[in-house]
């Protein structure tokens, strides 16, 4: 998965897609985010459960443990290793959902520059990506070390021609189970390993190369070219 995505709807659109009955605590505002070209280190809306409340906070995309100061903060975690490797051990149980509208991949098609593609759900509904991170809660106020990573898996079907890795995305039902603190670590691992949404739920198409410059923003970046 390349490091660029869109989160342009408002938080209430994403919460509606998750369809969770819990009372909602919103720290992200009520207007559309309009992040059409979000890059690593961008603050994105992250959904997580705190007690009985579904909470939304703006959290940096990218995280590393305090002892790994000599390396860049990863933005993704490979599903094959995330539950058992030492790097993400301290946040494996801090499960979250980052709801997005689409993500981008770049493909070498033999031209002078790689061609960007946009990937979204065929039904245009929000994409519920499995994530883990360090984020605000009752015992932990917002801090400089907060951040999250998106869990990724091997692509399959036609999507592998666009990129060999993709975010693990969950149906609303499984996303709710992923968020539930009562879900065991073993069950959570099985969810992201085996029950992510299939490639058939998505469509992809070429978009303008302007998306390659993170300073470019706007709805024109998500239109087919």
Q: Give the pLDDT confidence of 91-101 residue by residue, as tens digits.
A: 999 999 999 99
- In sequence order, the β-bridge partners of residue 77 are 151
- What is the tens place of the pLDDT at every residue in 121-139? 999 999 999 999 999 887 8
- What is the tens place of the pLDDT at every residue in 196-225? 999 899 999 999 999 999 999 999 999 998
How far CA 148 is from CA of 38, 43, 44, 65, 98, in Å, comes to 14, 10, 9, 11, 9
Confidence (pLDDT) at 87: 94
Confidence (pLDDT) at 157: 63
pTM: 0.94
- What is the tens place of the pLDDT at every residue in 27-63? 999 999 999 999 999 999 999 999 999 999 999 999 9
Confidence (pLDDT) at 152: 93
Confidence (pLDDT) at 160: 66
Would you call 2 a catalytic residue per the annotation?
yes
Confidence (pLDDT) at 48: 97
pLDDT above 70 coverage of the chain, percent? 97
Confidence (pLDDT) at 186: 95
Q: Which among 148, 178, 182, 165 has a CA at the least distance from the CA of 80?
A: 165
- For residue 189, what are its two tokens? 């691992």
Confidence (pLDDT) at 66: 86
Would you call 105 a catalytic residue per the annotation?
yes
Q: Which domains does the chain have, with CATH numbers?
A: 5-222 (3.90.1680.10)
Residue 54's φ and ψ, nearest 5 degrees, are: -85, 125
Dihedral of the alpha carbons of 161, 167, 170, 176, in degrees to the nearest 10: 180
Q: Tell me which of 2, 50, 197, 203 is the catalytic residue.
A: 2
- What is the tens place of the pLDDT at every residue in 64-118? 998 888 888 999 999 999 999 899 999 999 999 999 999 999 998 888 899 999 9
Q: Tell me which of 34, 50, 80, 105 is the catalytic residue.
A: 105
Does residue 175 have a pLDDT over 90?
Answer: yes
């Amino acid at each position: 998965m390349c490091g660029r995505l869109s989160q342009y709807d408002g938080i209430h659109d994403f919460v509606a897609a998750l369809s969770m009955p819990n009372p909602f605590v919103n720290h992200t505002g009520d207007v559309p985010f309009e992040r059409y070209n979000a890059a690593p280190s961008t603050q994105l809306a992250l959904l997580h459960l705190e007690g009985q409340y579904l909470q939304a906070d703006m959290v940096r995309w990218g995280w590393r443990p305090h002892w790994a100061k000599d390396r860049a903060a990863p933005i993704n975690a490979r599903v094959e290793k995330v539950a058992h490797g030492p790097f993400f051990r301290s946040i494996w149980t801090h499960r979250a959902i980052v709801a997005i509208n689409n993500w981008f991949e770049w493909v070498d098609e033999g031209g002078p520059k790689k061609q960007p593609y946009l990937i979204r759900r065929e039904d245009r509904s929000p994409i519920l990506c499995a994530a883990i991170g360090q984020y605000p809660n009752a015992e932990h106020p917002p801090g400089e070390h907060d951040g999250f990573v998106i869990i990724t898996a091997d692509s399959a079907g036609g999507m592998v021609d666009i990129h060999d890795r993709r975010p693990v995305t969950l149906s609303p039902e499984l996303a709710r189970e992923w968020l539930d603190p009562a879900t065991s670590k073993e069950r959570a691992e099985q969810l992201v390993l085996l029950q992510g949404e299939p490639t058939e739920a998505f469509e992809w198409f070429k978009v303008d190369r302007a998306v390659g410059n993170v300073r470019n923003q706007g709805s024109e970046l998500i239109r087919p070219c």
